[in-house]
Structure 1
Amino acid sequence: MIHEYSDVQTINLGDGTRVWQYVVILPGAKIGKDCNICSHCLVENDVILGDRVTVKSGVQIWDGITIEDDVFIGPNVTFANDPFPRSKKYPEKFSKTIIREGASIGANATILPGIKVGRNSMIGAGSVVTKDVPDFTVVIGNPARVIRKI
């Protein structure tokens, strides 16, 4: 299902994936099956979303970001892909950010460029993730810190 008010340019859209209104997906993006991409989202070209990924409203997924299977991205999560952004000056290659299988990212969290978020980890709402998150951990705060293992 692709809402009539969305602009889905990719042909790499998995079966059963739902794209809601006011979503833009650029031609190079690869989206898995049974995903749910809520309204007001942007997915750039050099992006991979695995199967059964949920992307809540207001999320922009920039070049260089890979999101593996069964990941939850909360509303208004912010990803960054350039550690030294300047207007009209682009890096040769954007930082690679990887969100591993089963991870959950709470609303309004910020993920800085080049971060790896571990399998089945959880990031608390509003956290600012400045370094890699190990598998099976919960992080919260600014900067995000480990509060427990899962």
Structure 2
Amino acid sequence: MFVYKKLLNIPIGKQSIIWAGNKFNDVSSLSIADNVIIGPNNVFLIRGGLKIGNNVNVSGFSFFISQAHDVNDPMGHTSLSEIVIKDDAWVATNSTILPGVTIGKGAVVCAGAVVTKSVDDYAVVAGNPAVKIKERCPRIDYRLNDVSGIKWL
């Protein structure tokens, strides 16, 4: 956390944790709110920006890409389009989130999904390309990194 907060100067909210092994190509448009867990070994190609809301779980080994090359541009210029992950969302292991996608409040991206379009609030999406498979219950009472209810042995 010292490296992420102090050396890279990433704005990270209270009780948020970034595990080791994550790779960032640009952190200038990255913001992470409170109670966020970012698992290990994700790749963040985020020159277009990434905003992560409160109480978000980002599992490991995923790709977040907010930059792309315009295939219709003869010069192949890069286009940038921010990714937004809203409060209480969960992005499971080995997912890919592409430019301009918003993951809605409480939404779940299942393991291995490739998200090419925005995800509605409380939707559960899976597959390549990701499609909605069901709704998640909108009542979310847990808070990530809340250790108050844990009984330590």
Moved over 2 A (4+): 60-63
How far apart in 2 are the matches of 1:35 and 1:128? 25
How far apart in 2 are the matches of 1:129 and 1:135? 14
- How many residues align? The count is 128
Contact 1:79/1:111, CA 8 A, preserved across alignment: yes
Contact 2:65/2:97, CA 8 A, preserved across alignment: yes
Contact 1:26/1:45, CA 8 A, preserved across alignment: no
Tell me the equivalent position of 1:41: 22
Percent identity reads 29
Contact 2:98/2:116, CA 8 A, preserved across alignment: yes
Contact 1:127/1:141, CA 8 A, preserved across alignment: yes
Greater relative contact order (CA < 8 Å, ≥ 6 in sequence): 2
Tell me the equivalent position of 2:8: 26
Contact 2:125/2:134, CA 8 A, preserved across alignment: yes
SS at match of 1:138: strand
Tell me the equivalent position of 1:73: 58
Contact 2:69/2:77, CA 8 A, preserved across alignment: no
Q: Which structure would you say has the larger Rg?
A: 2
TM-score by length of 2: 0.76
How far apart in 2 are the matches of 1:60 and 1:50? 19
TM-score by length of 1: 0.77
Instruction: Name structure 2 gaps, 5 residues minimum.
Output: 137-153
1:85 Cα offset (Å): 7.2
SS at match of 1:83: strand
1:26 Cα offset (Å): 2.4
How far apart in 1 are the matches of 2:20 and 2:70? 27
Q: In structure 2, do the counterparts of structure 1 residues 85 and 41 end up closer, same or farther at CA, with 3 Å as the change threshold?
A: farther
Instruction: Report the AA paired with residue 36 of structure 2.
Output: V
